[in-house]
Structures are given as structure tokens and as C-alpha cells.
Structure 1
């Protein structure tokens, strides 16, 4: 009796094992998700550059926008760059532009300035906790420029 029960239990365990392995949490795409994109909007140019290392997301975004300068003859505009940072605050990969609201003839100048400003402002000075929190996560940073007379809105 005892041997029969043991054999039946082994047979049951063997038949369940392969099926259970197919639905492992790490292999099931419905359980996995992409990292959440960190989003922010910064009005540029900034009146003053922030100092010291950033320890919060609210402190990080102005540091990433501090190097932005308006291209010549730019009216009101908005542009969004998507990128990721490493723990040390340096860029991970190449930033890319995902949105721009600007006249077509000014788009190339605005895109070039935005990408070069991110390169100039990185590596951002980050405290260790924030560096670990943002490392590898996508960041979508929207730069909003009101224009030279500050009354225009994009």
C-alpha cells in the first residue's frame, strides 16, 4: 500500500512539474511590464542654475534643463526628449526627440539645441539614492519655451 501511494505521488508530481514551469512569473508576459517613464515639464531657460547634487526627481529635472539655450529666432516652442541615465548621472544611450511643437523651419535648430543641452548638462550630479532609483528608467523631459516676449505660448 505504501509503495503504491508513493509511486502515485511521484507520478502526480512529475505530471504537474512541466506544466507549472511553463507559467513561471518571470516567463509570463502578462506579469512583466516595462519600467514606468518618468515625466516632467520644465520652462526654459532657467533663471538660475541649481547647485549641489540632486536628491529628488523635482531637483533633477531643472539640472537637466539648466544648459538649454533658445536657438536664434525661436518663437514659442515645446519639445520633449526621451532618454535614460546611469547611476552616475551620465546619459545611457542616445537621447531622442519624441515631440516638437515648433514651425517646421525651426525644428532642426530646436532639436539640435535640445540634444546638445542634454549632453552639456550630463553627467548630472546625483545622490546615491536617486542615482539608483533613476538608473536605466526612461525619462521624458518636456522643455517649454514661451518665446522672447514671454506672452507667446506653445
Structure 2
């Protein structure tokens, strides 16, 4: 049953273009990563690119400060890199606030997490 609820939550993310506030609470960081990745739409002309963002959550599912790019692999000029990083940052912001289970909310607050956003060709 829990697996079905998770699939429905992720499907809802895909359908509405963001993390649904009424979705089942997220219990693990794997579920958090899956929910955020469901919001990710790389730029059409991204080629073979990736960016890793580092960020921290508050217990309420919002971010503590802006995410920081920690690794960028984008072919092209500074504008291409900025476009890709901006798209990844927008995907993260679009999913917020996330709905953490009480146990995850207690453990997640203030810790630094990293998530890699890849272009479709990765």
C-alpha cells in the first residue's frame, strides 16, 4: 500500500508540474530525490550536461537559503551553464515545500544534501 501511495505522489508531481502539497509524507531521502527529479525538465538544447546542487531543508520542507551549484558539466559558454543551473534550481523550487514525515523532518533539518540533475542524454 505504501508503494502505491508513493507512485501516486510521484505521478501527481508529473501531472501538475510540482510536488503536491496533499501528497503522502516523504519517509526517506530516496523519496525526496525522486520527488524533486519528477519536477526536473532540462533545457531542450542541454546536450550532455549535468549540475549538482547542494542545499539544506528546514523541517517544514522549505530550503534554508538558496541552493548552490557544486559541480557543473555543461558544454558551451557561460550563458549555457547559467541556463542549465537555473533550470535545475527552478525544478527544486517548483517542488517546494516538500511534505516530510515527522521522523524525516526531525532528521533532515539543517543537513546539507546534494542532488545531481542530468540532461536526458546522460
Please report the TM-score for the alignment, with normalisation by the length of structure 2.
0.75
Unaligned runs of 5+ residues in structure 2 are 1-9, 15-22
Of Structure 1 and Structure 2, the greater helix share is in: 2
- Count the aligned residue pairs: 102
Q: How far 1:65 sits from its partner (Å)?
A: 2.1
Matched, 1:126 2:100: yes
Note the 1:23-62 alignment, pairs <5 A: 48=11, 49=13, 51-62=23-34
**Residue matched to 1:78:** 50
Q: Equivalent residue of 1:97, what SS? A: strand
Unaligned runs of 5+ residues in structure 1 are 1-46, 148-152
Q: Is the 8 A contact 2:42 2:120 kept in 1?
A: no
Matched, 1:93 2:32: no
Counterparts of 2:43 and 2:62, CA distance in 1: 24
Q: How far 1:145 sits from its partner (Å)?
A: 2.2
**Residue matched to 2:20:** none
Counterparts of 1:122 and 1:135, CA distance in 2: 15
Counterparts of 1:64 and 1:99, CA distance in 2: 18
Q: How far 1:76 sits from its partner (Å)?
A: 1.7
Q: How far 1:146 sits from its partner (Å)?
A: 3.1
**Residue matched to 1:10:** none
Please report the TM-score for the alignment, with normalisation by the length of structure 1.
0.61
**Residue matched to 1:140:** 114
